[in-house]
A and B are shown apart, each in its own frame.
Chain A
Amino acid sequence: MINYKLHTLPNGLRVAASRDRNSKLAAVNLLYCVGARNEHPDHTGFAHLFEHLMFRGTRRIPDFDTPVQMACGENNAFTNNDYTDFYITLPTANVETALWLESDRMTGLRLTPRKFEAEKRVVIEEYNQRYLNQPYGDQMMLARALHYRVHPYRWATIGLTPDHVAAATIAEAEAFYRRYYRPSNAILSIVGDLEEERAFELAEKWFGGIADEQFVADTLPVEPEQTEARRLEVERDVPATAITITFPMGDRHSRDFYLLDLVSDLLAGGESARLYDELVRRRRLFGAVNAYITGDVDAGMFVMTGQVAAGVEVAEAEAALWDELHCLQTERVGDYELEKVRNKFEAGVLFGELNVMNKAMNLGYYSMLGTPELINGEVAIYRSISAEEIAEGCRRIFTPERSSTLIYRAANETK
């Protein structure tokens, strides 16, 4: 349970604060509501590139890291399809150093051609290292592109191709900065041993002077209902063939989100879960299996994936994945098993809020969703979903005409 208070500055900056009397540290999290979803299809990878640029110094403070480290702090950031998150932890007495740095780089970024080109190279290397030069590196990229036709979730945060990053210009970066990096599109969360009211005063002191008007969000294309099964086969130099089946699901606020999150845990939440127990341990059809939801803000993906064991026919392995889905549709989940996955969520929530950094990130995330109260309310939703509802949901969602199947075939294997 996290106790928190909310406040909005006149310029639109949303502030969430939570006092933690036990910690000697404070966490400052600044979330900008911009991610790969806001990119143009011909200029993908831009939000992530821009996150890198935010560490390249401003007119007043040429080096971002040193003042953080001087204050005994540590900082980092990440970008996903929906948002970009910057965070700093440091001793509570130095919390203003974090606010000073963050407020400064909200308006004062100084991009030079040299820094810009250097950062593009770093990001292109990251693309090569993590997605192209890595076994199964492009598997989820392909699955996304198969699953989505129009919604920007069809590309990953890193972008559709390194060429998009290579082609990015400073003018675009400056326009992106002005459009998205501003108080009315951001959420500041502060957690540490300071009164919430004091946190709001500090937010006002450091961010109040930035004038802004109301942010008008981008309108994104809506993914049309899928009515036909989709299938893609590729060949790659990997040790084992991988099968991925995805299904469209509801958005982050839909009840299906919670339902399918539970289902993914019934299937793959630990070694006692169904896929591992049945398909790896008992039937020995797969070497590794997984099921998860992408958890995006807009309608997301339910993903089921596995690496086929040596000597097993791909068709047999694929059919076995469907067997598990049919079982969910036709047989009521037992009380014990349902209790298990509910308990797991409760534990996950508690383990996920043990330090100031996690709390600040969570406050930012739930505020971004527009439902901060869910930070303490989701365990109850998970507990409210019944076995009947799960079977009904699985019948509705896991149909062949709503499936997209990617066969990622090991090149040296004969069919």
Chain B
Amino acid sequence: MKRNSLPRRPSIRIPERVDVPTARLATLGNGVRLYLLENHDQQVVRLSFVFGAGSSRQTALFSATSAANLLSEGSDRFTARQIAEQLDFYGSYFDIAVDRDMVVVSFCALSKFVMPTLQTAEEILLRPSFPQQEFDSYRIKRRQRLEIERRKVDVRVREAFAAAMFGADHPYGISAPESAYDELTRDDVVDFYRRHYTADNCYVVCSGDLSDEALAAIENICVQLPQSGERNELIFPAMVQTPRVRLEHAGAVQSAVRVGRMLFTRNHPDYVGMQVVATVLGGYFGSRLMRNLREERGYTYGVFAGMVNLDRAGYLAIATQVAEAAREDTLHQIYTEIERLRTEPISEQELSLVKNIMVGEMMRILDGPFGIVDVTIENVQCGTDNHAVERTVEAIRRCTPEDVQRLAEKYLRREDLVEVTVG
């Protein structure tokens, strides 16, 4: 095909700042904090209820995830089917995310259907009845699913890595055996719900096309949350690290590999710098580990490095799955790439590429009316607000090749790394 000469390569501009709306905060009589991010551009609403009800808070194994997942499986007034029907009828989306620290219960609805969606939300959040029959069938299904999941090397390595980092009995390191589902009772779930789905353990983030009527209805749900009267401040045991774990896996085609280092939470002054280090190493498609392990050696379809953030800890993790024969060289290559970061300064060009990727990623999360909720939750969880995004972007832009090398030298010493392989 014929073409005239292509115009000159366009120059690029890197956004000076990433604008993030700040949430309007209303604290209700019972202590529930309500963060509002109104935006009337599109006729949709998202609201997320955040409870400090993650698995690190449970005494009975699986009670935290079970309580969260059974919230919508029947209330005092409605069956599981009726609740599903009410959400489906208005085309509303409902989602529950559980991690070690928290549970996020989210609803997305067209703004014209937000009122009936809130009525269902009220049933789910305030009046779950945990019917025995639903509990029994849930327990069986989940146990089977977990058994199947644990046949996968990537699931096993994730669990083994948490245990190696924190200790097998630590709330952040524990993985319950499937048999714990047999011992779990409905009372455990009800008890967990009563203690943790409370006003003093909850905040709410709403975005989108919120009307005064909807706001009043949201407040009305929040004020009905009871106060637990107890301080849920957990005392965590000391961490116990195991530097090297190797597990066999029958019939595995690939080996799963994780290497990491216990670091700090998001409030630490070196956090953003270490995020840059992690991105250089394995945070994007052309990262050093991707080029080394995928493009040059063809060991893997993908490798990833990033910071893992919990309320009370944070660590760097590098994860990949490789052909079994390539396992040892993969580890060798990972350590070689880490060593290279510690001994050679990164070029200005590579560092600016990484910075631009990180800023672009932040902008993409914030595009549209819903991503802002996730960003707000992350900031509230860290005890800050959405101004933190500006500070993060500034810190990313300030990062120099010397910083990258200094941080890698300080935090990524070979003897501080934990290594786990499965298969």
Complex interface: chain A residues within 8 A of B110 (CB): 346-347, 350
Judge whether A91 and B353 touch: CB under 8 Å: no
Contact status of A347 and B7, CB under 8 A, knowing A74-B360, A212-B1: no
Tell me if A144 is interfacial: C-beta within 8 Å of chain B.
no
Tell me if B411 is interfacial: C-beta within 8 Å of chain A.
no
Complex interface: chain B residues within 8 A of A205 (CB): 7
Among the stretches B30-38, B224-232, B367-375, B400-408, the one at the interface with A is: B367-375
Tell me if A77 is interfacial: C-beta within 8 Å of chain B.
no
How far is A344 from B12 in the complex, measured between Cα atoms in Å?
A: 41
Complex interface: chain B residues within 8 A of A353 (CB): 42
Give the contact-size bracket for chain A: 35 or more
Contact bitstring B129-140, A, C-beta under 8 A = 1, else 0: 000000000000
How far is A356 from B366 in the complex, measured between Cα atoms in Å?
A: 11
Judge whether B1 and A354 touch: CB under 8 Å: no
Judge whether B44 and A354 touch: CB under 8 Å: yes
**Most chain-B Cβ atoms within 10 A of its Cβ — which of A336, A340, A354?**
A354
Contact status of A100 and B15, CB under 8 A, knowing A72-B357, A277-B81, A355-B367: no
* Set B285, B360, B367: member contacting A72, Cβ < 8 A: B360
Tell me if A222 is interfacial: C-beta within 8 Å of chain B.
no
Contact bitstring A74-96, B, C-beta under 8 A = 1, else 0: 10000000000000011101101
Complex interface: chain A residues within 8 A of B285 (CB): 65, 69
Judge whether A100 and B10 touch: CB under 8 Å: yes
Tell me if A137 is interfacial: C-beta within 8 Å of chain B.
no
Tally chain B residues at the interface, Cβ within 8 Å.
55
Tell me if B5 is interfacial: C-beta within 8 Å of chain A.
yes
Tell me if A23 is interfacial: C-beta within 8 Å of chain B.
yes
**Most chain-B Cβ atoms within 10 A of its Cβ — which of A94, A99, A104, A357?**
A94
Tell me if B149 is interfacial: C-beta within 8 Å of chain A.
no
Tell me if B235 is interfacial: C-beta within 8 Å of chain A.
no
Q: Which residue of A lies closest to B298 (CB)?
A: A121
* Set B10, B91, B368: member contacting A97, Cβ < 8 A: B10
Tell me if B88 is interfacial: C-beta within 8 Å of chain A.
yes
Judge whether B363 and A91 touch: CB under 8 Å: yes
Q: Which residue of B lies closest to A178 (CB)?
A: B1
How far is A107 from B6 in the complex, measured between Cα atoms in Å?
A: 10
> Which residues of A259-299 are within 8 A (CB) of B?
269-273, 277, 281
How far is A133 from B152 in the complex, measured between Cα atoms in Å?
A: 13
State how many angstroms separate the Cβ of B366 from the closest Cβ of chain A. 8
Judge whether B10 and A91 touch: CB under 8 Å: no
* Set B4, B12, B91: member contacting A343, Cβ < 8 A: B91
Judge whether B10 and A271 touch: CB under 8 Å: no
Contact status of A103 and B6, CB under 8 A, knowing A71-B356, A350-B43: yes
Complex interface: chain B residues within 8 A of A344 (CB): 88, 91
Judge whether A60 and B88 touch: CB under 8 Å: no
Judge whether A66 and B367 touch: CB under 8 Å: no
Contact bitstring A96-114, B, C-beta under 8 A = 1, else 0: 1101100110011000000
Q: Which residue of A lies closest to B4 (CB)?
A: A209
* Set A23, A72, A272, A346: member contacting B356, Cβ < 8 A: A72
B residues adjacent to A (C-beta < 8 A): 1-7, 9-10, 12-15, 18-19, 41-44, 80-81, 84-85, 87-93, 108-110, 113, 148, 253, 284-286, 298, 301, 352-353, 356-357, 359-361, 363-364, 366-370
User: A65-B286, A211-B2 given. 7 additional CB < 8 A pairs?
Assistant: A25-B367, A66-B286, A72-B14, A74-B360, A74-B361, A273-B88, A354-B44
Please provide the 8 A-B residue pairs with the shortest distance between their CB atoms, ordered closest to farther: A347-B91, A72-B360, A209-B4, A96-B10, A355-B368, A272-B85, A354-B368, A271-B84
